[in-house]
Amino acid sequence: MEITKKNIDDLNAVVTLKITKDDYAGNVEKTLDNYRKSANIPGFRKGAVPMSLVKKQYGKAVLLEEVNKLIQEKLNGFLQEEKIDLLGNPLPKADLDIDWDADDFQFEFELGLAPTFDVDLSAKNSITQYKIVADEKMIDDQVRRIRKQFGKLISQNEITEDADVTGVFLNEDKGIENRTTISLDIFKDKKTSKSFIGKKVGDIVSLQTKGLFDDDHKLMDYLKVSHDDVHGLDVTVDFKIEEITTSELAELNQDLFDKLFGPGVISSEKELKAKIKEDAEKQFATSSDQKFLNDVTDFLLKNTKFDLPSAFLKKWIQTAGENPMTPEEAEAEYNKSESGLRYQLIEGKIMTDNNLQLTFDELKAYTSNIIKRQMAQFGQMNPTDQDVEGIVARVLSNQDEAKRLSEQVMSEKMLNLFKEKVKAKTKEVQYEAFVKELYGE
CB 125 within 8 A of CB 299: yes
Report the alpha-carbon distance of residue 354 to residue 127 in Å, rounded: 21
Q: With DSSP H G I counted as helix, E B as strand and the rest as coil, what are the percentages for the chain, rounded to 5?
A: 50, 20, 30
In 3D space, the residue among 114, 120, 436 whose CA is nearest the CA of residue 296 turns out to be 120
In the predicted model, what is the mean pLDDT of the chain?
Answer: 91
Q: What would the DSSP string read from start to end of 37-95?
A: HH---TTS-TT---HHHHHHHHHHHHHHHHHHHHHHHHHHHHHHHTT--BSS--EE-TT
Domain parsing of the chain, residue ranges: 2-112, 152-248, 268-438
pLDDT value for 440: 59
How far is CA 147 from each of CA 73, 216, 253, 272, 325, rounded to the nearest angstrom?
71, 27, 11, 12, 61
Handedness of CA 222, 224, 225, 227 (dihedral sign): positive
> Which residues, at least 6 apart from 93, have a Cβ–Cβ distance to it below 8 Å?
14, 107, 108, 109, 110
pLDDT value for 350: 96
**pLDDT bucket at 46, cuts 50 / 70 / 90:** confident
pLDDT value for 39: 75
**pLDDT bucket at 439, cuts 50 / 70 / 90:** low
pLDDT value for 423: 92
pLDDT in tens, 107-153: 999 999 999 999 999 888 889 999 999 999 999 999 998 998 899 98
pLDDT value for 379: 74
Instruction: Return the bridge partners of 19, or none.
Output: 105
pLDDT in tens, 328-358: 999 999 999 999 999 999 999 999 999 999 9
**pLDDT of 243 higher than 80:** yes
Q: What is the mean pLDDT of residues 290-304?
A: 94
Report the alpha-carbon distance of residue 371 to residue 386 in Å, rounded: 12
Report the alpha-carbon distance of residue 412 to residue 44 in Å, rounded: 69
Q: Tell me, what DSSP letter sits at residue 116?
A: P
Report the alpha-carbon distance of residue 55 to residue 35 in Å, rounded: 9
Q: Which CATH number fits domain 152-248: 3.30.1300.10, 3.40.50.150, 3.10.50.30, 3.40.50.970?
A: 3.10.50.30
Q: Tell me, what DSSP letter sits at residue 405?
A: H
Q: Using DSSP, state whether 154 is helix, strand or coil.
A: strand
**pLDDT of 441 higher than 70:** no
Instruction: Return the bridge partners of 154, or none.
Output: 246
CATH class of 2-112: alpha beta
pLDDT in tens, 144-178: 989 988 999 899 999 999 899 999 999 999 899 99
CA 194 from centre of chain: 45
What's the CA dihedral at 326, 327, 328, 330 to 10 degrees? 90
pLDDT value for 380: 78
Which has the higher per-residue pLDDT, 285 or 217? 285
**pLDDT of 12 higher than 80:** yes
Is the fold of 2-112 the same as that of 152-248?
no
Among 14-18, 66-70, 112-116, 437-441, whose mean pLDDT is lowest?
437-441
> Which residues, at least 6 apart from 192, have a Cβ–Cβ distance to it below 8 Å?
207, 212
- Helices marked H in 304-326: 310-320
Quick count: other Cβ atoms within 10 Å of Cβ 77? 11
Report the alpha-carbon distance of residue 376 to residue 173 in Å, rounded: 44
Report the alpha-carbon distance of residue 32 to residue 35 in Å, rounded: 5
Among 36-40, 306-310, 326-330, 366-370, whose mean pLDDT is lowest?
36-40
Report the alpha-carbon distance of residue 211 to residue 188 in Å, rounded: 7
In 3D space, the residue among 439, 136, 431, 440 whose CA is nearest the CA of residue 284 turns out to be 431
How far is CA 43 from each of CA 32, 40, 131, 273, rounded to the nearest angstrom?
19, 9, 87, 96
pLDDT value for 226: 87
Q: Using DSSP, state whether 119 is helix, strand or coil.
A: coil
In 3D space, the residue among 223, 219, 241, 221 whose CA is nearest the CA of residue 231 turns out to be 219
CB 370 within 8 A of CB 396: no
pLDDT in tens, 52-104: 888 888 889 999 999 999 999 999 999 999 999 999 999 998 767 888 889 99
pTM over 0.75: no
Q: What is the mean pLDDT of residues 9-27?
A: 94
pLDDT in tens, 218-242: 899 999 988 888 888 899 999 999 9
Report the alpha-carbon distance of residue 311 to residue 116 in Å, rounded: 18
Q: Using DSSP, state whether 287 is helix, strand or coil.
A: helix
- In terms of Cβ atoms closer than 10 Å to its own Cβ (0-12, 13-18, 19+), residue 223 is buried
Q: What is the mean pLDDT of residues 386-397?
A: 92
What's the CA dihedral at 368, 373, 375, 381 to 10 degrees? 100
